């Protein structure tokens, strides 16, 4: 297992009277692709800026490779940042843009020429040295911004929603490019986004945030399949989130009907959040279902149909299936025990879910 490279200890940060981060603890390992994921205003960009040295925490410390860098300026940190707006110099050629940091560091011309060629080959834009930024597409400009960052050989690359301005096809292409670059360069990527698909596609580790707190840390698979709470389940992928009562271990009541599940450790008759992924809602003949319902809408999504069903127990279910059930159809609805995710209801709206000491079992940090 690779060593810790960056560690944030007891970080708090406010802007005016607004607390953005509250005693946050987080560590990131060498050569990881870590994504900070959450809605606008959750604190993810503030974390990135604190790591980069563009913001100073009110309380707490930032460690890089075991050394306290909390008060170190950005230009003395072994990292580079790629922003959403690219920030290319429009009056400079591509070669001059890429060479900018190297010239500041007073590298010789031969070294700079070699590095420019290396960086352009790496981002699949060889021969673009003499082009101007405004002659490139958005995706090409983003690649040049990445080339300019990696040419300085940082240990860490910080990426602040770098694909947000691109259209869907370009975004998807750049996701694969970033994965390839991370694997080829062997450096740590810290990526900020509110796009769940980007996080699931690219990350080794996802840090899900809300209201300045870390909600869950884990692999894309564990975050999706075993969300810690209803917020994570709702933010990562689509979910049916239903009020339920945990009657006893392995038995939950939804809409007055009992369903077997595999969850334990709840109080008897404890109110809970029940999460069921749409792909886990099984539809079939009425007589074969655990309950029944009527299809109220159906949308074709290309690889599956998205179907809304008003059930006999008063719950509206969303299902994703390759089978076509026309609106008005009566169907049976079933969910196997393993596909219920039972969660404690939070005690308060901004309840802190996670500290550095109690990461969920099985997450990779």
Question: For residue 321, is pLDDT > 50?
Answer: yes
Q: Higher-confidence residue: 85 or 125?
A: 125
pLDDT on residue 143: 86
Q: Higher-confidence residue: 81 or 157?
A: 157
Residues 6+ away with beta carbon under 8 Å from 263:
246, 249, 250, 252, 340, 341, 342
Asked whether the beta carbons of 318 and 240 are under 8 A apart, the reply is yes
pLDDT category, 174, cuts 50, 70, 90? confident
Tokens of 263: 């969850």
* Residue 229, φ and ψ in degrees, nearest 5: -150, 175
Q: Exposure string (b/e) for 102-139, b if CB count within 10 Å is 16 or more?
A: beeeebeeeebeebbeebbebbebeebbeeebeebeeb
pTM comes to 0.86
- The CATH architecture that domain 4-228 belongs to is 3-Layer(aba) Sandwich (3.40)
Percentage of residues in the chain having pLDDT higher than 70: 93
pLDDT on residue 359: 44
* pLDDT tens by residue, 329-343: 999 999 999 999 999
Cα–Cα nearest to 11, from 20, 216, 73, 363: 20
Query: What is the rounded average pLDDT of the residues 150-179?
Result: 84
Residues 6+ away with beta carbon under 8 Å from 360:
216, 217, 218, 222, 226, 228, 354
* pLDDT tens by residue, 182-221: 888 889 999 999 999 899 999 999 999 999 999 999 999 9
DSSP alpha helix (H) spans, 133-193: 138-150, 168-185
Query: What is the rounded average pLDDT of the residues 144-162?
Result: 89
Q: Indicate the DSSP class of residue 279.
A: G
Write out the H or E segment, with its range, that includes residue 50: helix 44-52
Residues 6+ away with beta carbon under 8 Å from 239:
227, 233, 275, 276, 277, 278
Each domain of the chain, given as residue ranges in start order, spans 4-228, 238-344
Cβ neighbours, 10 Å, residue 257: 14
**Comparing 106-110, 139-143, 241-245, which segment has the lowest mean pLDDT?**
139-143
* pLDDT tens by residue, 49-89: 999 999 999 999 999 999 999 999 998 999 988 876 667 89
pLDDT category, 16, cuts 50, 70, 90? very high
Tokens of 218: 């884990």
Cα–Cα nearest to 49, from 19, 23, 79: 79
Report the first-to-last Cα separation within the chain, whole angstroms: 9
- The CATH architecture that domain 238-344 belongs to is Beta Barrel (2.40)
Q: Higher-confidence residue: 172 or 51?
A: 51
Question: For residue 354, is pLDDT > 50?
Answer: no
pLDDT on residue 347: 64
Question: For residue 324, is pLDDT > 90?
Answer: yes
Q: Higher-confidence residue: 3 or 219?
A: 219
With tokens 């009541």, the residue in question is: 253
pLDDT on residue 351: 45
């Amino acid at each position: 297992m690779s060593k810790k490279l960056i560690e944030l200890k007891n970080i708090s940060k406010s802007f005016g009277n607004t607390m953005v981060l509250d005693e946050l603890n987080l560590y990131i390992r060498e050569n990881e692709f870590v994504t900070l994921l959450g809605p606008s205003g959750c604190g993810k960009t503030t974390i990135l800026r604190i790591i980069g040295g563009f913001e100073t925490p009110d309380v707490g410390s930032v460690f890089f490779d075991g050394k306290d860098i909390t008060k170190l300026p950005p230009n003395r940190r072994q990292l580079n940042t790629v922003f959403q707006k690219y920030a290319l110099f429009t009056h400079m050629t591509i070669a001059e843009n890429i060479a900018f940091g190297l010239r500041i560091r007073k590298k010789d011309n031969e070294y700079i020429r070699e590095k420019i060629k290396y960086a352009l080959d790496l981002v699949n834009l060889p021969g673009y040295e003499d082009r101007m930024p405004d002659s490139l597409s958005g995706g090409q400009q983003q690649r040049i911004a990445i080339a300019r960052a990696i040419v300085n050989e940082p240990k860490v690359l910080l990426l602040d929603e770098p694909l947000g301005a691109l259209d869907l096809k370009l975004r998807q292409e750049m996701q694969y490019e970033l994965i390839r670059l991370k694997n080829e360069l062997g450096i740590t990527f810290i990526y900020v986004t509110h796009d769940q698909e980007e996080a699931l596609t690219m990350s080794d580790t996802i840090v899900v945030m809300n209201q300045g707190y870390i909600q869950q840390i884990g692999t894309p698979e564990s975050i999706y399949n075993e969300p810690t709470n209803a917020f994570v389940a709702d933010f990562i992928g689509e979910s049916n989130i239903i009020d339920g009562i945990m009657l006893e271990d392995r038995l939950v009541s939804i809409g007055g009907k009992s369903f077997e599940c595999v969850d334990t450790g709840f109080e008897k008759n404890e109110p809970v959040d029940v999460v069921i992924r749409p792909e886990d809602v099984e539809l079939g003949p009425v007589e074969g279902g655990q309950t029944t319902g009527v299809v109220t809408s159906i949308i074709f999504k290309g690889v599956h149909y998205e179907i809304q069903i008003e059930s006999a127990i008063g719950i509206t279910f969303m299902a994703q299936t390759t089978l076509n059930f026309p609106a008005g159809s009566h169907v049976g609805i079933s969910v196997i025990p393993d596909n219920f995710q039972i969660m404690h209801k939070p005690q308060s709206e901004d309840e802190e879910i996670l500290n550095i000491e109690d990461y969920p079992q099985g997450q990779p940090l």
